[in-house]
Chain A
Amino acid sequence: MTALAPETDHRVIGQPLRRREDPALLTGEARFLADLQVPGTLHLALVRSPYAHARIRSIDLAPALQTPGVVAAFTGADLRGEWAGPLPCGWPVTPDMKQPAHLPLAAEVAHFAGDAVAVVVAESEYAAHDGAEAVVVDWEPLPAVVDLEDAAKDQTLVHPDLGTNVCYTWQLEPDAAAVDRAFAEAAHTVSARFRQQRLIPSPMEPRGVLVVPQPFGGDFTVYSATQVPHILRVMLALTVGVPETSLRVVAPSVGGGFGSKLNVYAEEALALALARRLRRPVRWVEERSEHAVSTIQGRGQIQEIELAATAKGKVTAVRVRLLADMGAYLQLVTPGIPLLGAFLYAGVYDVPAYSFSCTALFTTLPPTDAYRGAGRPEATYAIERAMDLLAKKVGVGPEEIRRRNYIPADKFPYSSVAGLVYDSGDYAAALERCLERAGYAELRAEQARRRERGDRRQLGIGLSSYFEMCGLAPSRVLASLNYTAGGWEAATVRVLPTGKVQVVTGTAPHGQGHETCWAMIAADRLGVAPEDVEVLHSDTAVAPYGLDTYGSRSLAVGGSAIAVACDRVIEKARRIAAHQLEAAEEDVELVAGSFRVRGTPERQMPLAQVAFEAFTAHNLPEGLEPNLEASSHYDPTNFTFPFGTHLCVVELDTETGKVELVRYVAVDDCGVQVNPMIVEGQVHGGIVQGAAQALFEEASYDQDGTLRSASLLDYLVPSAAEVPSIETDHTVTPSPVNPLGVKGVGEAGTIGAAPAVMNAVLDALAPYGVEDLPMPATPERVWRAIHAGAAGSASAQGGSPA
């Protein structure tokens, strides 16, 4: 445990400072990947399989090569010699996990609709696409494996050489007898089955990569719209066989990621290999409809959850069985996603017995991987839906069942039955604040009035109390889960001769505002103005160490690294100041950016002056090296556990089945807030993304494995017209595990929202006897549920609730 930073008279942390990132983004000056122009660049276009599963009989590249502007074209077989290794999977969760061969171009069999089988290289983007259109592939279609339960039967194998569709099975059951006993003795049990539909991440900027050979600073500079420039550098070295020292990876302005850019993709490896082979800059920019079929997808699980409870509704055991869809191949962390939720299915509740098992399966669909929340939204959805079902059985409201089960605030740090230690929390406080903000009693009264008068527009009120595991991650914990890397983050802090400060971070922002927030942390720590702090990132030549941005880790781990590096700079500066002020080191303190001798405040030396002395090195303490610079490679001691309660109000049109979000109240606790304006923005965006899973979005496949929602015309990313303004509030429970007391907030909204919205929809449908509905709750599904659920009830005729 680390003590929180002492309060000083110069708090920058906690101020809603405007973002320094904004002027360039608001004026079009920011450079995204597709904006980078290098003379002589060649453009790639991929030929992709239209079939979910098909053997390549032959590929005729000749028509492409005759297309004007086309320079070259290659099949998977042509490029086989380019690869030093497969596309990487960094999380082999079990020693016996099955891992299919995965090269950037499939050479014999395409395993999902979108799997790339040939690449065309041309002088322009238009010519590359013309060339790709001209390639003729002779396909032999093979049977698709789309449904998870079908996959489990092993009748059709996605990868016959593996002998099974089961990628791995993984179990967490600390005390099986205790679980059995709890169910045997239960007064109430709940048993439910939920489907987590596949989601298409859809950041507004699609993916893209530009590889420039022989530039300044390395043999290849790889510009990629990526969340993970550092991971990408290591992995491309291994896959393409370019020495790591010959690779510089730069993430320019990146237009959102949500996990989809936390990966190492075929196109990135292809662009590097072809730049090496053709000795010219090579660029590929993803089209939106390509994103739908070639980028990783989120979720894709079937969840069975059972609760055992006492007569009063106190949960005594949680048992979960998952089927998890890996898709056709294992991308960077595909197998690990279910494990990120595996420990969390008991939610925010004090549950003594726990059992979790997961069977991961291959299908002939695009690979799944991290998507905003990654395993945690799925876990939260299952337990929060199940808690509502339990409330009904016990005969109490959803707020009351939660009150009866929360881990009490005085039990933190709390050792969970699944083996985690939750850092801090006050779950009941967040619930009560949320109910009060929402005017819960009045909402229930309005709902009752509408039910009574048989209003066409019924009200539904949904709650969800979520928490999540952030601050990925203590490296030793990752080792115990067979993750192949660590979870630390790096920072270097320099005070330059003029007193300006440079912060170098290993995080890789793509919308989160790290430049603003990291400057705030350093300014706060060092007692300088935030505008005097420069933040450098996302370029491996500038920031050689880093583990990048995902899983709400950047602040808790990367921010902490900056705080520690600042403290080291201060310690060195203190020695210099003490030497020059002729005082004992322990008598010298940093106050508002100036070192002072305790008791004689007129004897002081501003940090900038110390930095200049450190730079000239004319008069330093004996043995001390020049300059003010320090680094930290911060490895967290534990995860952090942000939490909160969300309340959603929907109006459900019983005649059309349309669900309208009318209010959304969110009380979140992410520990100390560095910049509350940015925290709120993360919450807003997260909530809409979670609500979109509940109401709008689904990567919908037909039985042949063809995507039915391949464009933004069919895949319903919500617009401003579909969502309300969001009422946010917060509590602050600092985390004791890091020097800033922070927890992370990037995924909170998404994790809390889907169950809150679905609980609201099902609350509205309760009078119709509807207990569950698959996501997304489309008007058609809602309408059908009303009519099926009410089939036996007298009120069915009028369409009004019983």
Chain B
Amino acid sequence: MQVSLRVNGEERRHDVEPRLLLVHYLRDVCGLTGTNIGCDTSSCGACTVLVDGESVKSCTMLAVQADGREVTTIEGLADGERLHPVQEAFREHHGLQCGYCTPGMVMAAVSLLNEHPHPTEAEVREGLEGNLCRCTGYHNIVKAVLAAAEAGASQPVGAAR
């Protein structure tokens, strides 16, 4: 099937199997391997990307369902050499260790801050519930997201820039 979408601001058009998951499309067809796969039950959130600015687990969506939409992956978040404020906050506050959950966690956090620019700690914890991390115990992830909020990180990403 034909699918046509924008990925990180770039037009993409491909012929894909109808059963191809969006995450496999991004990784295997577009070569954007920053989006990781951590489970097979849509539980872990490692594959979280933004679709029209909102966080989506890209294993829950078929590539063909993204037709006509705007997808942002971790590769599209930084502004050239300048990290996005959420990426910067994760680095500053040691919000990552092995880094495997990180692309999904960062995208979920970006989406969270777009919806709630000034969340409480409890709101951050609830808001990131769909993203699992096995290394950090979440302490520094939560700290990073709160610090990013403080620094005014909320800015629309991936929605018609």
Contact = CB atoms under 8 A, between A and B. Distances in A.
B33 A35 contact: yes
A527 B62 CA distance: 54
Interface residues of B, number: 57
Contact of B137 (A25, A35, A511, A686): A686
A21 to B, nearest CB: 7
A720 B133 CA distance: 8
Contact of A256 (B125, B130, B135, B139): B135
A513 B98 CA distance: 8
Nearest to A511: B98
Interface in B113-151: 121, 124-126, 128-143
Given A28-B34, A720-B128, A255 B99 contact: yes
Contact of B142 (A31, A512, A717, A720): A720
A38 interface: no
Query: Which of B91, B98, B142, B143 is packed against the most chain A CB atoms within 10 Å?
Result: B98
A312 to B, nearest CB: 38
A212 interface: no
A712 interface: yes
Given A19-B94, A720-B141, A28 B135 contact: no
B37 interface: yes
Given A34-B37, A720-B128, A512 B97 contact: yes
Contacts of A510: 98
B134 A712 contact: no
B44 A204 contact: yes
Contacts of B35: 28
Interface string A196-216: 000000111110000000000
Given A256-B135, A688-B137, A712 B97 contact: no
A479 B27 CA distance: 47
Contacts of B37: 34
B94 A256 contact: no
Contacts of A204: 36, 38, 44, 46, 98, 100-101, 132-135
Given A21-B99, A720-B129, A27 B40 contact: no
A288 B40 contact: yes
A713 B41 contact: yes
A645 B141 CA distance: 24
B132 A256 contact: no
Contacts of A723: 137-138
B158 to A, nearest CB: 14
B120 to A, nearest CB: 12
B101 to A, nearest CB: 5
Nearest to A682: B97
Which of B106, B126, B136, B142 gathers most chain A CB within 10 Å?
B136
B90 interface: yes
Interface in B40-92: 40-41, 43-44, 46, 73-75, 77-78, 83, 87, 90-92
B40 A287 contact: yes
A27 B94 contact: no
B7 interface: no
A513 B95 CA distance: 12
Interface string A249-262: 00001111010000
Interface residues of A, number: 56
Contacts of B101: 204, 255
B130 A26 contact: no
B134 A689 contact: yes
B27 to A, nearest CB: 8
B3 interface: no
B159 interface: no
B125 to A, nearest CB: 4
Interface string A385-417: 000000000000000000000000000000000
Contact of A28 (B39, B44, B73, B96): B73
Contacts of B90: 22, 26
A127 to B, nearest CB: 11
A600 interface: no
A26 B38 contact: no
Contacts of A24: 99
Interface of A: 18-19, 21-32, 34-35, 37, 126, 202-206, 253-256, 258, 287-289, 510-513, 677-678, 680-681, 684-689, 711-713, 717, 719-721, 723, 725-726, 749
Instruction: Sort A-B residue pairs by CB-CB distance and give the 5 closest, nearest first.
Output: A28-B34, A255-B100, A25-B99, A511-B98, A688-B137
Interface of B: 17, 19, 27, 31-41, 43-44, 46, 73-75, 77-78, 83, 87, 90-92, 94, 96-103, 106, 121, 124-126, 128-143
